[in-house]
């Protein structure tokens, strides 16, 4: 059907298109900043002039579609289709596919990876996961390091121990070069567990801090002056820490009146991004405004590749962890709606797992495995090396580089980086 526009410079055409083709056309036109009607017109013109053979497009299940085309173009398309012995709908579909083929999506903008490790529930080992990820990212690229076989990180337990096939995999690691990435590890938790675990001094209550820069009460100096480099040959100066300060206990109050309070963390960290390949944030143990700022910082930015940044959620294999996870997911989903953003799920990590704790633990792990979104990307068992690393004030990756925990964390990193 064709309906002339009042001005006469366009005419409305009505046809059918497969839903997938309508979607691809809409997305590509938006990516390139082109009006859909101009894209269709260009595609029809190119298709009529082309001698290229195109495979038939599956137009079954087409749905109603309309656009505005230059006067006479629709009639000319009808004639061309008749001359080529095909339905008008097929010709239109081929014209749009040709336009899509010749107008590629723009290459994603390269952004520093931003990984926010979050769970408001205490005791899930969020801090140890964040520190381990950072260490695994920063390892010397001249080293060959053991990485757990992929199946091990996804393997459930059965009965009182690991299944025989998982036990066998413990001795079948892969060897990979260290990633050698420049990493900033942000201690966003006022309890300062991360800073203390790594032997980094906690910022004095009256000194410049992340919270003060977020609140705008610190107007002199630079946040770079607060950053501390972890002195460890394994990381070669590539691992930095932004330490915590106990003033962050008041962070929600400090930023509550900010007009764009969800953007306060980004305002402080974004200028640092050119210095790093990865920024890992050890999130706060709450669901307050500070967590909102963490969620917003993890969002997918304009033209950023999906999965480049996002949230990673450590959980425990127990029922209370499921309740906390539900609350966190609600907050993330509400933020996406309120701020019109997309936050990518990088995955779940089941931490502190010990099958000897019985059926509740093993059945909870199985429930996490069955969860399709976010997907389970790692299972870290409760072993002594992490506790020893904390006592030694060292990163696990450096303290026990061949331990099972280190090998599994390296696998997790390679799933998301």
pLDDT at residue 1 in the model:
52
Backbone torsion region of residue 393, taken as left when φ is above 0, otherwise alpha when ψ lies between -120 and 50, otherwise beta: left
The pTM (predicted TM-score) of the whole model is 0.74
Is 401 in contact with 235 (CB distance < 8 Å)? no
Q: Residues near 303 by Cβ (< 8 Å), separated by ≥ 6?
A: 31, 106, 108, 109
Q: Could you please report the per-residue DSSP string of 293-327?
A: HHHHHTSPPTTBPTTSSEEEEEE-SSHHHHHHHHH
Q: What angle do CA 77, 80, 82 make, to 5 degrees?
A: 110
Tokens at 376, concatenated: 């389970």
pLDDT in tens, the chain (417 residues): 556 655 567 899 999 998 889 889 988 998 888 999 999 999 999 999 998 889 999 988 787 888 999 999 999 999 999 999 999 999 999 999 999 999 998 877 889 999 999 988 777 889 999 999 999 999 999 999 999 875 344 444 444 444 444 444 455 678 899 999 999 999 999 899 999 999 999 999 999 999 999 999 988 889 999 999 999 999 999 999 999 999 888 899 999 889 899 999 999 999 999 999 999 999 988 888 999 999 999 999 988 988 999 999 998 887 777 788 889 999 999 999 999 999 999 999 988 877 787 877 788 778 777 777 888 888 888 888 988 998 999 999 999 999 999 999 999 999 888
SS3 132: helix
Q: How many whole angstroms separate alpha carbon 225 and alpha carbon 207?
A: 11
Fold of 113-416: Rossmann fold (3.40.50)
Give the CATH number of domain 2-102: 1.10.1220
Peptide bond into 374 cis (omega under 30): yes
Where exactly are the structural domains of the chain? Answer: 2-102, 113-416
């Amino acid at each position: 059907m064709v309906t002339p526009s009042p001005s006469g410079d366009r005419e409305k055409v009505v046809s059918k298109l497969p839903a997938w083709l309508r979607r691809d056309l809409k997305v590509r036109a938006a990516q390139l900043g082109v009006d859909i009607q101009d894209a269709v017109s260009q595609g029809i013109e190119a298709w009529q002039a082309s001698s290229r053979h195109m495979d038939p497009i599956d137009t079954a299940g087409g749905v109603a579609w309309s656009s505005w085309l230059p006067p006479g173009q629709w009639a000319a398309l009808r004639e061309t289709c008749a001359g080529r012995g095909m339905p008008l709908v097929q010709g239109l579909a081929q014209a749009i596919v040709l336009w899509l083929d010749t107008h590629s999506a723009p290459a994603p903008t390269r952004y520093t990876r931003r990984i926010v490790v979050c769970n408001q529930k205490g005791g899930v080992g969020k801090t140890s996961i964040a520190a381990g990820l950072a260490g695994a990212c920063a390892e010397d690229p001249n080293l060959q390091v053991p990485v757990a076989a992929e199946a091990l990180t996804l393997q459930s337990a059965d009965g009182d121990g690991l299944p025989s096939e998982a036990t066998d995999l413990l001795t079948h690691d892969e060897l990979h070069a260290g990633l050698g990435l420049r990493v900033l590890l942000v201690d966003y938790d006022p309890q300062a567990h991360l800073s203390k675990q790594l032997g980094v001094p906690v910022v004095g209550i009256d000194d410049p801090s992340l919270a003060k820069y977020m609140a705008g009460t610190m107007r002199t100096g630079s946040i770079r002056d607060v950053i501390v480099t972890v002195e460890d040959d394994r990381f070669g100066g590539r691992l930095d820490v932004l330490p915590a300060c106990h003033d962050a206990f008041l962070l929600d109050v400090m930023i509550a009146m900010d007009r764009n309070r969800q953007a306060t963390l980004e305002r402080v960290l974004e200028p640092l991004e050119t210095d790093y390949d990865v920024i890992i944030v050890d999130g706060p143990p709450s669901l307050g405004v500070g967590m909102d700022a963490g969620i917003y910082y993890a969002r997918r930015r304009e033209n950023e590749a999906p999965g480049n940044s996002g949230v990673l959620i450590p959980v425990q294999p127990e029922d209370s962890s499921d309740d906390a996870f539900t609350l966190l997911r609600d907050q993330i989903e509400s933020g996406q709606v309120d701020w019109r953003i997309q936050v990518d799920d990088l995955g779940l990590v089941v931490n502190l797992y010990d099958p000897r704790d019985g059926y509740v633990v093993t059945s909870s792990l199985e429930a996490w495995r069955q969860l399709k979104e976010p997907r389970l990307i790692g299972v870290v068992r409760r072993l002594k090396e992490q506790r020893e690393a904390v006592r030694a004030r060292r990163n696990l990756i450096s303290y026990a580089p061949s331990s099972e925990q280190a090998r599994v964390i390296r696998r997790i990193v390679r799933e998301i980086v």
